[in-house]
């Protein structure tokens, strides 16, 4: 079988498996509260659930649409299905896949990148599942250590630590591209500090600015060459 036929078959099976896994996970996740409610002797209060959804769920629905549109091209088919099933996208899966891509030197949209991304998301998800399973098993002895006052500032700053390292990794090669969104976002948060609680919603305009600048630079390079 030649490479293209193999990849077409691989891609087709990925979508079949991805859709089946998403559907089964969805049914189990929505079904679990009803099953648990049944065991506890009280089913969910659906009117309260609808009210709750209207108060907080709408924001997360919009956020999910944005995440799907932005991250699916970064992750490819296999990585995309897995990432949306396993969650923790911004704080782990996306940076993890980008780091793997950087190390492997693959380009977005290529079959190699699809494979690296899938491997990365799967390994990352299995790590989280293992750490959490071990942690839950050892919850009693681990709790005093993990919850000790001294360690709390460290765990509270996992995300800044992650983005500090990733910022150096990406900015050093693209400093001209990074200056504008970084400056605009910094000024925006300084002048309108209430936006800090909505940081994730500002990723899209910031990314759009960076993509716009990248496009101008790409066109300029194309015109010169």
Partner 1 sequence: MIAQLNSISLYVICGSIVAFVAAVCIVFMVRAYKAGIAIGMDPAKLKRTLTSSVTFSVLPSIGILLGVIALSGSLGTPWPWLRLSVIGALHYETQVAQAAAEQVGLHTLSAAEMTPQAFATIALLMSVCIMWGMILSFFFNKGYLKKLGGQKKEKTDSKPGFGDMAMTAMFIGLVSTYIGSYIGGFVSGEGLFTFKGDLTPVIVALVSGLFMSGFIYLAEKKNMVWLESFSIAGSMLAGMIAAILL
- Answer yes or no: are the C-beta atoms of 94 and 71 closer than 8 Å: yes
Using CB under 8 A, which residues numbered 187 to 206 contact partner 1? 187-191, 193, 195-196, 199-200, 202-203, 206
Kindly report the three-state secondary structure assignment for every residue of the chain.
Answer: CCHHHHHHHHHHHHHHHHHHHHHHHHHHHHHHHHHHHHHHCCCCCHHHHHHHHHHHHHHHHHHHHHHHHHHHHHHHHHHHHHHHHHCCHHHHHHHHHHHHHHHHCCCCCCHHHHHHHHHHHHHHHHHHHHHHHHHHHCHHHHHHHHCCHHHHHHHHCHHHHHHHHHHHHHHCCCHHHHHHHHHHHHHHHHHCHHHHHHHHHHHHHHHHHHHHHHHHHHHHHHHHC
Closest approach, Cβ 216 to partner 1, in A, equals: 11
How many residues at the interface with partner 1, by CB under 8 A?
158
Q: Exactly one of 141, 186, 220, 224 binds partner 1 (CB under 8 A); which one? A: 186
Closest approach, Cβ 139 to partner 1, in A, equals: 6
Is residue 141 close enough to count as binding partner 1 by CB under 8 A?
no
Closest approach, Cβ 166 to partner 1, in A, equals: 5
Question: For the window 151-170, what string marks contact with partner 1 as x by the rule CB under 8 A?
Answer: x-xxxxxxxxxxxxxxxxxx
Using CB under 8 A, which residues numbered 111 to 140 contact partner 1? 111-112, 114-116, 118-129, 131-133, 135-136, 139
Closest approach, Cβ 194 to partner 1, in A, equals: 10
Q: Exactly one of 141, 214, 220, 224 binds partner 1 (CB under 8 A); which one? A: 214
Is residue 211 close enough to count as binding partner 1 by CB under 8 A?
yes
Q: Exactly one of 5, 30, 141, 220 binds partner 1 (CB under 8 A); which one? A: 30
Closest approach, Cβ 167 to partner 1, in A, equals: 5
Q: Exactly one of 19, 141, 220, 224 binds partner 1 (CB under 8 A); which one? A: 19
In angstroms, what is the C-alpha Rg of the chain?
21
- Answer yes or no: are the C-beta atoms of 9 and 73 closer than 8 Å: no
Using CB under 8 A, which residues numbered 50 to 109 contact partner 1? 51-53, 55-57, 60-61, 64-65, 67-70, 72-74, 76-78, 80-82, 84-92, 94-96, 98-100, 103-104, 107-109
Total count of residues recorded for the chain: 225
Closest approach, Cβ 78 to partner 1, in A, equals: 5
């Amino acid at each position: 079988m030649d490479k293209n036929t193999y990849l077409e078959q691989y891609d087709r099976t990925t979508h079949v498996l991805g859709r089946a896994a998403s559907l089964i996970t969805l049914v189990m996740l929505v079904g679990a509260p009803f099953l648990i409610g049944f065991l506890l002797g009280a089913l969910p209060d659906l009117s309260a659930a609808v009210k709750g959804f209207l108060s907080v769920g709408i924001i997360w629905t919009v956020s999910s649409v944005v995440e799907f549109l932005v991250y699916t091209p970064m992750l490819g088919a296999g990585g995309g299905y897995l990432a949306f099933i396993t969650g923790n996208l911004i704080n782990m899966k996306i940076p993890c896949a980008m780091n793997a891509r950087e190390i492997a030197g693959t380009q977005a949209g290529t079959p190699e990148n699809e494979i690296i991304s899938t491997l990365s998301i799967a390994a990352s998800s299995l790590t989280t599942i293992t750490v959490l399973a071990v942690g839950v098993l050892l919850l009693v002895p681990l709790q005093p250590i993990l919850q000790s006052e001294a360690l709390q500032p460290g765990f509270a700053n996992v995300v800044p630590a992650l983005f500090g390292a990733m910022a150096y990794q990406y900015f050093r090669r693209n400093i001209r591209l990074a200056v504008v969104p970084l400056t605009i976002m910094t000024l925006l948060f300084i002048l309108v500090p209430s936006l800090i609680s909505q940081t994730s919603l500002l990723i899209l305009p910031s990314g759009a600015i960076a993509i716009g600048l990248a496009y101008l630079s790409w066109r300029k390079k194309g015109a010169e060459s």
